[in-house]
Amino acid sequence: DEVTTRTGGAFSVFTPFWRAARPLISDPGRIEPPARLPAPDAWPVSEALDSWGLHPVSPDWSAGFADWTPGEAGARERLGRFLARGLAGYGRARDFPAEPGVSRLSAHLHFGEISPFALWRGALNAVERGAAPETDAEKFLAELGWREFNAAISGRGRDLALTSFDSRFEAVAWRKSPRDLAAWRRGRTGYPIVDAGMRELWTTGWMHNRVRMICASFLAKHLLLDWREGESWFWDTLVDADHASNAGNWQWVAGSGADAAPYFRIFSPMAQGAKFDPDGRYVRKWVPEVARLPDRWLHAPWTAPPLVLDAAGVRLGETYPAPVVDHDFARARALEAYAVVKGR
């Protein structure tokens, strides 16, 4: 609320918001935990936490969350690792899902297990020590800025998980297709980069930011399904699910958000895959059915000659789905459906 325009209004565009917010941020320094907390003389009768059976057992769907140590110690450890090995080069590496280029601190931040100031301080100290270039650190701090921006936008009254920030987008006629929605949720769209992301999410509770954008765009534009369907699936499956960041980013992708991507910009999953997973390491990890395809066809298996598919053991529609929708057709359909916002 302290970050306002000159006339006292709220920002709706990130860059001026961040320009105004950045100088207002002052690090209070590390606050040590109290040495001891006074305990009550008598504890009320309580239940044993284990008796709540919170840990899933049959099946244990949390098995894939193993790379994850909830709590402050786990958060500090992860921050230390990122500052030592990830911050230098962050500006470039953060877009490549197969590289260890991001901090993976989102859930720790969401649950308050670490303060954003700890990240702030760590990044600026790394620059001072000469351990990371300033440009990389500033990029990282700006991502924390996006977290603040989303929180600021979502604090204005309307529930942005339910309503478009830009109300013109309420006129888009979304399709209803339980079949397409299920294919997207389960990572069976036939577009390997989308399927890889959706499977990473289902298995680990986390998905790389670049791939979140590709998968979200695929739902809202290629499948023309209401972005709220995607938001609610992410809400159910992300370990870092955060009301403001999830809704804000979904609306950013769908075009209806504050400072959103223009609605007519439609990601090509093939081009995104080739650019950000050029050697296919990410796709091969999560979509083993196509792993033996050469790089050239990995992101668009349906374009591979029959002999190449044969040699890689891929039978479209059998071992791996044929595309759930044709790219050019989907693009044209989305542009037409989204055109209703123009006249409003």
Ligand X SMILES: Cc1cc2nc3c(=O)[nH]c(=O)nc-3n(C[C@H](O)[C@H](O)[C@H](O)COP(=O)(O)OP(=O)(O)OC[C@H]3O[C@@H](n4cnc5c(N)ncnc54)[C@H](O)[C@@H]3O)c2cc1C
Q: Is 184 a catalytic residue?
A: no
Least spacing, CB of residue 242 vs ligand X, in Å: 4
Q: How far apart are CA 25 and CA 117, in angstroms?
A: 9
Catalytic residue among 120, 174, 202, 235: 174
Question: Which of 16, 137, 33, 15 minimizes the C-alpha distance to 76?
Answer: 33
Radius of gyration, alpha carbons of the chain: 22
Least spacing, CB of residue 251 vs ligand X, in Å: 9
Fill in the amino acid letter for 77: E
Catalytic residue among 18, 113, 146, 233: 146
Least spacing, CB of residue 140 vs ligand X, in Å: 6
Nearer to ligand X, 206 or 338 (CB): 206
Nearer to ligand X, 244 or 293 (CB): 244
Q: Is 297 a catalytic residue?
A: no
Catalytic residue among 120, 138, 209, 289: 209
Nearer to ligand X, 126 or 213 (CB): 213
The residues, any chain, with a CB within 8 Å of residue 193's CB and separated by 6 or more, are 211, 214, 269, 270, 272, 273, 277, 282, 283, 299
234 contacts ligand X (rule: CB under 6 A): yes
- In whole angstroms, how far apart are CA 38 and each of 35, 42, 54, 77, 136? 10, 12, 28, 28, 43
Identified binder of ligand X from the candidate list 3, 83, 132, 144, rule CB under 6 A: 144
Q: Is 146 a catalytic residue?
A: yes
Other CB atoms within 10 Å distance of the CB of residue 153: 23
Identified binder of ligand X from the candidate list 143, 270, 302, 327, rule CB under 6 A: 143
Q: Which of left, alpha, beta for 55 (phi over 0: left; psi -120 to 50: alpha)?
A: beta
Q: E strand or H helix at 331, and its extent?
A: helix 327-338
240 contacts ligand X (rule: CB under 6 A): yes
Q: Is 143 a catalytic residue?
A: yes
Q: Is 302 a catalytic residue?
A: no
11 contacts ligand X (rule: CB under 6 A): no
The size of the interface with ligand X (CB under 6 A), counted in residues, is 27
Identified binder of ligand X from the candidate list 113, 136, 166, 242, rule CB under 6 A: 242
Residues 98-117 binding ligand X (CB under 6 A) are: 102-106, 109-110
* Residue 286: both structure tokens together: 């999560």
Query: Of 167-175, 234-242, 273-281, 326-334, which segment contacts ligand X by CB under 6 A?
Result: 234-242
Q: Up-side HSE of residue 336: CA atoms within 13 Å toward CB?
A: 7
CA angle 285, 290, 292 (to 5 degrees): 90
Site string for ligand X, 204-223 (x = CB under 6 A): -----x--xx--x-------
CB distance 251 to 164 below 8 Å: yes
Q: Is 174 a catalytic residue?
A: yes
Residue whose entry in the numeric block shows the structure tokens 């529930």 = 159
Residues recognised as catalytic: 143, 146, 174, 209, 227, 250
> Using CB under 6 A as the criterion, which residues of the chain lie in contact with ligand X when the complex forms?
94, 102-106, 109-110, 143-144, 146-147, 150, 209, 212-213, 216, 234, 238, 240-242, 245-246, 249-250, 253
